Amino acid sequence: MGRLENKIAVVTGSATGIGAGTVKLFAKEGAIVICADINDDDNHKTVDEIISAGGKAEACHVDVSSEESVVEFANHLKEKYKHIDVLFNNAGVDAEGGKVHEYPVELFDKIHSVDLRGTFLMSKYLIPLMLGRRGSIINTSSMSGRAADLNRSGYNAAKGGVTNFTKGMAVDYAREGIRVNSISPGTIETPLIDSLAGTKEEESGRQFRETNKWITPLGRLGTPEDIGHLAVFLASDESAYLTGEDITIDGGIMAYTWPGKMLMEEGWKETTE
């Protein structure tokens, strides 16, 4: 029997990356997975892969930044499933925008509309499907919500908001038995990295990955499955006494104060995976 046997789990941003890796693990653990994304082609491929492996999944087109889209989705869930047990608010976007005085307002608004407002809308309209039966909500934040990145203040602000919004929801719904936690990934090998830094085949992408490998104590980038395994734990009854927490999963980057010794130590670079 799987750790999520017969739980109904909704995952946003399920088409690729962390979302795709997680829904496959959820399904392996026995969950009925509702995969919500605006990328229909990749989302259907992910669902087909789950079903081919013997799992249960449904693909749904959802724009988490649109209240109308989220309400329509919530009504579909209520009609078809009556309730849900797990909500993983994972959908997100990111981009560099320059320093604050250069930062495009439309980019700031776009990032916040998906990363923060999307988390709010999905929670607002899907929490009623959890009330009266307990449940687990997981929000994808970021190590960039705990510290700053050059030229990405909009993303830093949005993810910092997700982290504290998580704590607010945890307090609000603790007595209803709904646990709310966030995951703060480090650098994870996903299509988002391709768009931000370049692919593995491009020089900029190779340099970005090699730099992140040596600056990460565990010597490698994370994988979607690394995040997915943590999400399984948070979705399962094994984490029944855990709520209001933001769990950083970054290979150890946030554990040190400055990389000076690593910059000087050639042997450090040679031990990456």
pLDDT tens column, 220-262: 999 999 999 999 999 999 999 999 999 999 999 999 988 777 7
Start-to-end CA span in the chain (Å): 34
The pLDDT of 126-133, averaged and rounded, is 96
**What are the residue numbers of the active site?**
155
- Residues 124-144 have a mean pLDDT of 97
- Taking alpha carbons only, the member of 155, 156, 154, 182 closest to residue 168 is 182
Query: Range of 178's domain?
Result: 8-189+223-270
Instruction: Say which CATH number the domain at 79 has.
Output: 3.40.50.720
pLDDT-derived band at 200 (thresholds 50, 70, 90) equals confident
Checking if the pLDDT of 156 tops 90, the result is: yes
pTM: 0.94
Q: Is residue 97 part of a domain?
A: yes
- For 201, counting Cβ atoms within 10 Å of its Cβ (0-12 exposed, 13-18 middle, 19+ buried), the class is exposed
Is residue 203 in some structural domain? no
Please give the pLDDT value at position 264: 77
- Domain assignment present for residue 204? The answer is no
The sheet carrying 8-12 orders its strands as 56-61, 32-37, 8-12, 86-89, 135-140, 178-185, 246-249
Is 19:90 a contact under the CB 8 Å cutoff?
yes
User: Considering the domain boundaries, does residue 37 fall inside one?
Assistant: yes
Tell me, what's the pLDDT at 192? 81
Does some domain include residue 85?
Answer: yes
Domain count, the chain: 1
196 is a domain residue: no
Each residue's pLDDT tens digit, 89-121: 999 999 999 999 999 999 999 999 999 999 999
> Distance between CA atoms of 231 and 184, rounded to whole angstroms?
11
Long-range contact set of residues 153-157: C-beta below 8 Å, sequence gap at least 24: 153/97, 153/99, 153/100, 153/103, 154/97, 154/103, 154/107, 154/108, 154/111, 154/112, 155/94, 155/95, 155/111, 155/115, 157/108, 157/112
**For every residue of 211-264, which 3-state class applies, written as one string?**
HHHHHCCCCCCECHHHHHHHHHHHHCHHHCCCCCCEEEECCCHHHCCCCHHHHH
Reported confidence tier of residue 272, pLDDT bands at 50, 70, 90? confident
Q: Is residue 147 part of a domain?
A: yes
Is 215 domain-assigned? no
